Amino acid sequence: MTRSVSIKRFAPLIFPSILFVLLTFIFAACPFLAEWSLSESFRYLPYILFAAGALLGGVFAQSRISFLCLLLALVTFFADRAFFLNDDVGKGKTVVLLSVIYIPAMAALFHRLNERGFWTSHAGFRGLMVLSAVLVVFVLPLIPELNDAVFHAESILFRSLSNYIRIPLIGILVFMVSLPFLVIRKQNESPLLGKLMALAILFVFGALNQPVADEHSMYGEAMLMLFMSGSALTMVWAVLESSWRSANIDELTELPGRRVLKNHLASLDSSYSIAMLDIDHFKNINDRYGHDTGDQVLRFIAMHLNRNLAGKAYRYGGEEFVIVCEHDYDQTVEALELLRRAISGRKFWIRSKTRPKKKPEAISSYGQHEPDKGESITVTVSVGVAKKSGKYSSPQEVLEAADSALYKAKKEGRDRVKAAG
């Protein structure tokens, strides 16, 4: 169950990854297909997709993606103009050099910043950051001496690595340094947002991996437009995934919410069971230890629910959770009992007020002692479960029966699994 949950969690990465591999294969093995695909209307595709990404970012309050889409659209324009409209390879190589330095760094910085919306001073500052990058990429290539220096650069940092990898080494190094800031998840944010940004940068690197020979100009322009379109699609994908997650995943527990549960219930077939789980004495925990501790208890339960073998867990509201099970009923009841025991068998430590927020960098091995965790409590849960039968024929009836069984489990003393009759 845990493995399948992990696969589903990272499923949105599959589409852009396959697209990147497919485009790479096309340009490596079948360059004539890339040339055939280039048409007058096709040249506008990346700009249309970047505009769509920026617009969706504005609609769904993802200003960072909107700003990055704007930056990438302008880089596409500058590279296309330098390489193919002006036929100036030296200027194009300068655009590439500056772009592969600025774009990964800008994406990593934007990802680590909190979302602040458009109509704030923070958005104005980020807009100025993008404007500064655009001015650098636009203005510096206008200096002929700089273009000549880049074109004839002898330092390995500024040269192409090979005939196949034409991105300057410094750009690859900046990307590698930026990568941890993109893939390491930020709290209260989609775990895939930074990873999708990293994939979008890979598309940009593919687009800017330009051949220098004149006979490949059409091939190079097709490569620029196709890979930049892939980058734009990945940014659109990032907006949609992040927005879907905000609407459907509970921020505190990271479990799907009632909207996703409703869709799952509507898709259920002939054999299933539903369990209702409630945290015992949760109000007392909140009253005695505070709501921060209550939130930690909810995360503690969610962690166990993510590991459960019974079925798919959802946060129903407050301290209540729902588990939808599509396995054998007896095995489901047994798995729920194992879940209940796992929760009650593990101590929950109340964070001490004197405990530091961060772990100390070094602890002396001499006289080492257990850090002050504060008081420990035992958290227990009550579970009611019901299955589809002649008595309960619809998902709503099964859910109501499970709720009634939960009430009986509470009445009989809590910390138990109760099956509906």
How high is the pLDDT of residue 373?
55
Q: List the beta strands (DSSP E) in 130-272.
A: none
How high is the pLDDT of residue 356?
52
Architecture in CATH for domain 258-352+373-419: 2-Layer Sandwich (3.30)
Per-block mean pLDDT, blocks of 10 residues, the chain (421 long): 51 76 70 58 87 92 89 92 82 88 91 76 75 82 79 74 82 94 83 91 90 59 87 92 88 91 90 94 91 92 86 92 90 92 90 55 41 75 92 91 94 92 71
Kindly write down the DSSP assignment for every residue of 266-277, as one continuous string: HT--SS-EEEEE
How high is the pLDDT of residue 192?
87
C-alpha closest to that of 196 among 238, 243, 239, 244 = 238
Chain centre to alpha carbon of residue 146 = 39
How high is the pLDDT of residue 362?
47
How high is the pLDDT of residue 369?
39
Q: Where are the domains of the chain?
A: 10-247, 258-352+373-419
pTM equals: 0.78
How high is the pLDDT of residue 24?
75
> Please, which residues bridge with residue 386 across strands?
274
C-alpha closest to that of 260 among 312, 320, 210, 326 = 312
How high is the pLDDT of residue 339?
93
Burial label for 367, CB within 10 Å (0-12, 13-18, 19+), is exposed
Q: What is the pLDDT of residues 346-358, one digit of tens each?
A: 889 887 655 555 5
Q: What is the pLDDT of residues 34-80, one digit of tens each?
A: 555 556 667 888 999 999 999 999 888 888 899 899 999 999 999 98
Phi and psi torsions of 15, nearest 5°: -60, -55
SS3 290: coil
